Amino acid sequence: TFAGTEVTTSGLLFSDSVESVDLASLGAADTATVDGSPYAITASNASGTGLTNYTIAYVDGAMTVDPAALTITADDQVKTYGEAFTFAGTEVTTSGLLFSDSVESVDLASLGAADTATVDGSPYAITASNASGSGLTNYTIAYVDGAMTVDPAALTITADDQVKTYGESFTFAGTEVTTSGLLFSDSVDSVDLASLGAADTATVDGSPYAITASNASGSGLTNYTIAYVDGAMTVDPAALTITADDQVKTYGESFTFAGTEFTTSGLLFEDSVDSASLSSDGADAEASAEDGPYLIAISSPEGTGLSNYDITLVDGTMTVEAGTEEIVPLPTLPVAFDQPNPTDTIQLALSTEPGGTTLAVPGPSTSVDDARRTLAAVEPIATTLEVAADACAQSSADVSRYLACLSDALNDFANELDEIASDLPPGMQDVARIVQDARRGIDGARARAESRLAEATTEAEREAIRRDAINESRAEIDTAANEIRKAIAFVRADDPELASVQTETITRISTAVESVGIELSRAVGL
């Protein structure tokens, strides 16, 4: 707005004066643009004192329009690690725009816009430049940086579920985890893992136990907000074998079980079997020697910590012995043919028990066909033991499970032989007991190994204990195989073909037992 005094005069005399002038310019309007500058300022109609004494010449002035101040500030942005950010060019705030002038787009750039921009480098500057729009030549533009914040990405670390057996310790390597959310070459190298179930004393009843994860270490992990998810440690029952002790009683006597006539194999720590239910038909006074041996059935064990075990109950045997007998040799029967074997002796047993005198004479002779049927029955029984022993070898790295597996296989083998005992060759009626003795020896070796392993502190000690247990078991098997082979000396058949079949039957049983020893030799590396 002109006051009318914005002039300079030249030529005034005396006291003459110019008091005001009409001034006008297109540049005086607020909308006058910088591009149109400078604008003419015209003067006219001067008024004052003594001006009639002058011929007035008016000279234009110039109206210069300077640019206004315009500030363009890049808007702050937030993104998540692993995401790329693309600018549209409109993420700005302006200050100073006039009239209909506008900023339509700005070049924006930030190192934080890349998907690989890390959290540690945040916040990153967002720079603005090269604004484009309408009327921007009317401004002096100042650009102000914004800030790009990179938030951590979500990373889930889940402890892997684990399974162990009661009595075993579990040591975490720190790598038993599964991750979800890792980006680029970032990695989780180790995690602190802990579980109450990792202790050897962790019980089956408390299972499953939580496996907690914490303190992950690796590369690039500052780029993540880590959520830890618990895993589960399952404690499986250990193997426990409870075997009813074999018993011997005399005919006419009653046998009363106390409930403690058993042997255990596999108990750990302070766990105990205090009692079991034991019963046998052979316990009655009337049980005869002829009908024996009788089964001793075992059931319902009770004690401390037994829920920590997978219990196998093994029946025992009740043998009933006859009363006092006087053995009187009878005369040798005449023979009308040559005998390839020594003469059998027939004995008369004079019993003092009710029932009177009993004559013990050889039973009816076995035919070749009978012997072949017995051999045919023995073959699948022997093959089953060999297959089972080979399958058990898959667990040979765990000596306790390996020997328990062999014990079960031998028990089945003995039971099947016992069912056909009356059909076996002479001297073989006791073969089931020989095999069961070997099995019990293996159970003893396993129990000793488990006890020693619980106290071992080095891998060398543990390896030596495993070798000792397997060698002890081999010795038991060797003894059983030798005892069985001795039965060949009892084959006294007059028929050479019968003798051959019976010898083959004994050899087949012995070979099956020896196969267990061979597997044990392989396990110990001999």
**In this predicted structure, what is the pLDDT of residue 351?**
37
Q: Has residue 263 got a pLDDT over 70? A: yes
Q: Which of 87-96, 136-145, 330-339, 457-466 has the lowest mean pLDDT?
A: 330-339
CB 313 within 8 A of CB 240: no
Equal CATH topology for 153-236 and 238-320: yes
Task: Name the residue type at position 290.
Answer: E
Q: Cα(63)–Cα(72) distance, rounded to whole angstroms?
A: 28
β-pair type (309-314, 316-321): unpaired
Q: Does domain 238-320 have CATH number 1.10.8?
A: no
Collapse the DSSP code of 213 into the 3-class scheme (helix H, G, I; strand E, B; otherwise coil) and give the result.
strand
Could you identify the residue written with the tokens 């002058």? 54
State the pLDDT confidence band at 326, using cuts at 50, 70 and 90.
Answer: very low
Q: Does domain 68-151 have CATH number 3.10.430?
A: yes
Collapse the DSSP code of 23 into the 3-class scheme (helix H, G, I; strand E, B; otherwise coil) and give the result.
strand
Q: Which of 289-298, 313-322, 423-432 has the lowest mean pLDDT?
A: 423-432
**In this predicted structure, what is the pLDDT of residue 365?**
54
Q: Cα(504)–Cα(373) distance, rounded to whole angstroms?
A: 12
49-79 pLDDT, tens digit per residue, is 999 999 999 999 999 999 999 999 999 999 9
Beta strand spans in 56-99 (E): 61-63, 68-74, 77-80, 92-95
Rounded to a whole number of angstroms, the distance between the first and last alpha carbons of the chain is 116
pLDDT, mean of residues 323-343? 40
Which tokens belong to 181? 């959310």
State the pLDDT confidence band at 395, using cuts at 50, 70 and 90.
Answer: confident
Sheet holding 247-250, edge to edge: 247-250, 316-321, 294-304, 272-279
State the pLDDT confidence band at 257, using cuts at 50, 70 and 90.
Answer: very high
**In this predicted structure, what is the pLDDT of residue 493?**
61
Collapse the DSSP code of 474 into the 3-class scheme (helix H, G, I; strand E, B; otherwise coil) and give the result.
helix
Task: At 135, give phi and psi (nearest 5°).
Answer: 75, 15
**In this predicted structure, what is the pLDDT of residue 383?**
95
CATH class as words, domain 153-236: alpha beta
**In this predicted structure, what is the pLDDT of residue 359?**
33
Count CB atoms within 10 A of the CB of residue 475: 16
Collapse the DSSP code of 63 into the 3-class scheme (helix H, G, I; strand E, B; otherwise coil) and give the result.
strand
pLDDT, mean of residues 259-280? 96
In the chain, where the domains are located: 17-63, 68-151, 153-236, 238-320, 363-524
Q: Cα(172)–Cα(188) distance, rounded to whole angstroms?
A: 15
359-393 pLDDT, tens digit per residue, is 333 344 568 888 899 999 999 999 999 999 888 88
Q: pLDDT over 70 for what percent of the chain?
A: 91
State the pLDDT confidence band at 494, using cuts at 50, 70 and 90.
Answer: confident
Burial pattern 77-107, b for ≥16 Cβ within 10 A else e, equals bebbbbeebebebebbebeebeeebebeebe
**In this predicted structure, what is the pLDDT of residue 525?**
62
**In this predicted structure, what is the pLDDT of residue 244?**
96
CB 298 within 8 A of CB 259: no
Q: Cα(473)–Cα(39) distance, rounded to whole angstroms?
A: 117
